Amino acid sequence: MGKRDKRKKNNTNPFAQRKRDKRNNEENGQKRDRRSEPYVEIVRENESFFKYYKQQGIVPESDWETFVKSLQSNLPTAFRVTGCRGESERLLDIIKSEYFEEYFKHASGEGEKIEKPFALPWYPGELAWQLQLSRKDIRRSEVFYRLHNFLIAETNAGSISRQETVSMIPPIVLDVKPHHRVLDMCAAPGSKTAQLIEALHAEMEEKKELPTGLVIANDIDNSRCYMLVHQAKRLNSPCFMVTNEDSERFPDLQMTNKASGKSENMQFDRILCDVPCSGDATLRKNPDIWTKWNPAHGTNLNGVQFRIARRGAELLTVGGRLVYSTCSFNPVENESVICRLLRESEGALELIDASDLVPGLKFSPGMTKWELSSKDMEFYSDFSQVPEKYHTIIRPQMFPPENVHNLNLERCMRILPHQQDTGGFFVAVLVKTKPMPWEKSQEEEKLVPQRKKRRLGGYKEEPFVFFLGDEDIFQSIKDFYTLRSDFDPCCLLTRCHTGKKKNIYFSSDAIRDIVQLSGDRVKIINTGVKVFVRCDNKNMSCAFRLAQEGLPSVNEFVGKDRRILLERDDLVTLLQNTDPTKPPRIEELSQSTQDRITAVTPGSCVLEYREEKLQLTLVGWRGTTSLRAYVDQSETVHMLRLLRADLSKYEVNKFRKAEEAEKTNAAEQEGTEKEAEEEETVKEEMEVDQEEKKT
C-alpha cells in the first residue's frame, strides 16, 4: 500500500496532525521559547548538495571551490531607483553625493578595506546599485544608520526597491513596452512585478500619458496577493491588477477587440513565469536551506513548473515573449522544464539569446546533460535505470531528450554566485512563433461549448463598480476640479453597489475592459488607484478631496483654478509642519505664493513646485487662512530629501536611541532602587518611632 493510500485509510493528514500537535503543545504551555536558546550559527555545508551538483557538473572542476566559497558567504545588498518617476535623477544624485560619500568616509576611517558600491552595468540608466555590504552589516552598524534609514524611508515612498541583484534580470529580458499586455503568473511578493510596472510606464512619464498596456500580477496564495497590492500601491499604477488563481489553470480573460468591437479571448504580449522552486540558488540570503536541502525538492516541483509554463505558452500571443525563471541551480527545475516545453510545442516556441539586453552580465550557458537523483543519492542518466519504486517521482520526460542538442539550450542563462558576487538564478527567454499544437483558433474556440462560469469559492473581495458617466457625484467633481473635457468618467470605480461612496478609484481603459468582461471568470483581488476621498467639508461644494496616491493619474486633467504654484521655501514650510491642528498660515508664506493662493477658492487643490530638473506635485488643502500639504510621512520625507531640506527630525539614530533608553532605564532603575531604599528607611524610621512611642 502506498503512503497516500495509507493516509487515506487512516483518514488523517500528517501535516494537519503535526500542526494540531504543535497547537496542543502550545496550549499545554510546552511552547519552545527560542529566545532563551543560544544563537547557533548555521553550518553552511550539505554533503548531498555538494555531491549532487558535482555530479551534475554545474561548474567546471576548477571553479568548484570558488563557487562553494561564494555560496557560503553573505549576500551583498542591492537596490533599484524607481525609474518611472521623474525624480529619479535627483534622487540618484543625492544617493551618490550624500549616502555613498558618507559610507566611504566612515568605513575608510575605520581602517577597513572597503569596496565601492557600483552601478550594475547591465541595468539601464545607472539606476541599480550593489553595495558590498550585507543587509545585516547595514542594519547592525551605527556608521550606516543614515544609509539604513534612507533605504527604509525611500522604499516606503516607492522611490527605491531593495531587490536582490539577480532577481532584476528576468523583467529586463522580458523587454516590456508601454503597449504590452503583461502577465506575471507567480508574482508574490512582487519585486519583479514592480519592475514590470515601471517598465510599462517608463517611456510614458515624459509624454505625461498613460500606457495603453497593462500588468496583471497573479499568485495562487491569497495572503501573498496582498503583498502584491502593497508593492504596487507604492507605484500608483492604474494599469495594474492583482488576481488570485492557480496559474496552471489561469482562466481565459476577455477583452474587446478594438477593430471589431467584439469581445475575444485575451492573449498576452509578455509573460513572466517566475515559478515556485527549491530556491537553492538563494543559499547566500537564506542559509537555513543548507540544513534541509535534498534533491527531491527539485524533482517534486518539476511537474507544477512545467504546467505553469505550458499555460503561460498558451496565453502568449504569437510573436510574444515568455521568460521562465527560477532561483534554483537544479537542471531538473530548469533545462528539464524548458526541454519538455519546447518538445511539446513542436516548434511553436523558440529559445532566444537575450544577452544583448543585459550587457556585461556574466553567466554560464544552459546545460545539455543532467541526471536525475533519488533522495538516497543514487543517480540515473536514463529512465530505464530508475527503480520502479521511484517511477511516480522520477518521470521519463525529466531526462534530456535525444534531440537535446537541437533545442538551443545553451541560450538559457545560468547566473552563478561567484561570477559577479551575487545570488544564483536561471533565466530562459522564449518567443512564440505560431499557436501551440493543441490551441484552437478564436473561431474554433467559439464552437466549443463554453465552460460553466466558475464559482469563486471563498471570494470575499468587494465588487468593482465602474461609473457610467452620468453620476451626480462625477458632475460635482468635474465642476469643482474643472476637469478637462477628455477625462473619461467610465474609468472611475467604487467598491460598493449601493450606499454612500467613500473612495473613488481610477483604472486605465484596458483594465476596465477586462474587469467588466471577465470579472466573473477571475478572482480579482485589487485594481485601481485611489483618486478621490469623501470629505464632507462645508467649505467645499464638492464632497470629495483629491488623494495623493492617485494624483499622478488625474493631475493632467485638473484645471488651473485648483492649482497653486509654490516657492521652494513655502513648500518646505508646508512639509515640515507636523501638527495637523496648526497648519501654516497663508500670511506666513512668501508674497508670490500668497498672490497665487488668493486665486483659488478654499478646498482640496494641487500644489506644484518646479525647478529645472525637478517637478513635484502634491495634494494640498487651501483653508480660509491656512494652507497644508496632504501627504503621508514617507512621501513627506521623500520630498524634503529631493528639496535638500533639513531632515534631522526624521533621522532617528536607533543606536543612540537604544543607548539613551538604556541610560534612562538605568537611571530609572537607580531611581527606583533609591526610592525603594528611601521607602524602606522611612518604614524603618516609622517602626523605630512606633517602638519609641510604645516605650
Mapped onto helix, strand or coil, the DSSP state of residue 592 is helix
Within positions 141 to 170, which residues make up the interface with ligand SAM, using CB under 6 A? 167
Integer-rounded Cα radius of gyration of the chain: 30
* CA–CA gap between residue 18 and residue 32 (Å, rounded): 15
- Whether 489 has a binding-site annotation, put simply, is no
In the bound state with ligand SAM, the residue whose beta carbon lies nearer, of 247 and 507, is 247
Binding region for ligand SAM (CB under 6 A) out of 23-31, 187-195, 609-617, 677-685: 187-195
Binding region for ligand SAM (CB under 6 A) out of 87-95, 241-249, 313-321, 342-350: 241-249
- Whether 387 has a binding-site annotation, put simply, is no
Pairing mode, if any, of strands 603-611 and 563-565? parallel
Q: What residues are annotated to the active site?
A: 327
- Whether 246 has a binding-site annotation, put simply, is yes
**C-alpha distances in Å from residue 144, one per residue of 100, 101, 134, 150, 163:** 10, 11, 12, 10, 19
In the bound state with ligand SAM, the residue whose beta carbon lies nearer, of 230 and 657, is 230
In the bound state with ligand SAM, the residue whose beta carbon lies nearer, of 167 and 330, is 167
* CA–CA gap between residue 236 and residue 548 (Å, rounded): 9
- Told to check if 181 binds ligand SAM by CB under 6 A, we report no
Crossing angle between the packed helical segments 222-233 and 191-202, to the nearest 10 degrees: 40
Whose cell is 513542436? That residue is: 346
- Whether 119 has a binding-site annotation, put simply, is no
CB of 92 to ligand SAM, least distance (A): 23
From candidates 56, 247, 494, 553, binder to ligand SAM by CB under 6 A: 247
Give how many residues touch ligand SAM by CB under 6 A.
21
Before 583, cis peptide (omega within 30)?
Answer: no
Which residues, including other chains, have CB under 8 Å from residue 98's CB and lie 6 or more apart? none
Cell of 325: 525563471
Within positions 275 to 334, which residues make up the interface with ligand SAM, using CB under 6 A? 276, 304, 308
Binding region for ligand SAM (CB under 6 A) out of 111-119, 188-196, 435-443, 570-578: 188-196
In the bound state with ligand SAM, the residue whose beta carbon lies nearer, of 314 and 371, is 314
From candidates 58, 59, 160, 186, binder to ligand SAM by CB under 6 A: 186
From candidates 87, 198, 274, 635, binder to ligand SAM by CB under 6 A: 274
In the bound state with ligand SAM, the residue whose beta carbon lies nearer, of 191 and 254, is 191
Which residues, including other chains, have CB under 8 Å from residue 513's CB and lie 6 or more apart? 255, 256
Binding region for ligand SAM (CB under 6 A) out of 80-88, 100-108, 220-228, 539-547: 220-228
Cell of 114: 572597503
- Whether 519 has a binding-site annotation, put simply, is no
Within positions 374 to 403, which residues make up the interface with ligand SAM, using CB under 6 A? none
Q: How far is CA 163 from the centre of its chain?
A: 9
In the bound state with ligand SAM, the residue whose beta carbon lies nearer, of 108 and 300, is 300
From candidates 57, 189, 365, 602, binder to ligand SAM by CB under 6 A: 189
Within positions 531 to 560, which residues make up the interface with ligand SAM, using CB under 6 A? none
Q: How far is CA 559 from the centre of its chain?
A: 34
CB of 322 to ligand SAM, least distance (A): 14
* CA–CA gap between residue 327 and residue 316 (Å, rounded): 23
Q: Looking at beta carbons, which residue is closest to ligand SAM?
A: 186
Mapped onto helix, strand or coil, the DSSP state of residue 564 is strand
- Whether 274 has a binding-site annotation, put simply, is yes
From candidates 59, 169, 220, 477, binder to ligand SAM by CB under 6 A: 220
Pairing mode, if any, of strands 544-546 and 529-534? antiparallel
CB of 183 to ligand SAM, least distance (A): 11
Pairing mode, if any, of strands 128-131 and 160-162? unpaired
Which DSSP category does 141 fall into? -
CB of 311 to ligand SAM, least distance (A): 9
CB of 272 to ligand SAM, least distance (A): 7
**Which amino acid, 428?**
A
* CA–CA gap between residue 139 and residue 115 (Å, rounded): 18
| Cα torsion angle, 555, 154, 216, 175, sign | positive
DSSP sequence for 206-237: HHT---S-EEEEE-S-HHHHHHHHHHHHTTT-
In the bound state with ligand SAM, the residue whose beta carbon lies nearer, of 245 and 549, is 245
Task: Name the binding residues for S-adenosyl-L-methionine.
Answer: 186-192, 219, 246, 274
Instruction: Enumerate binding residues for ligand SAM (CB under 6 A).
Output: 167, 185-192, 218-221, 224, 246-248, 274, 276, 304, 308
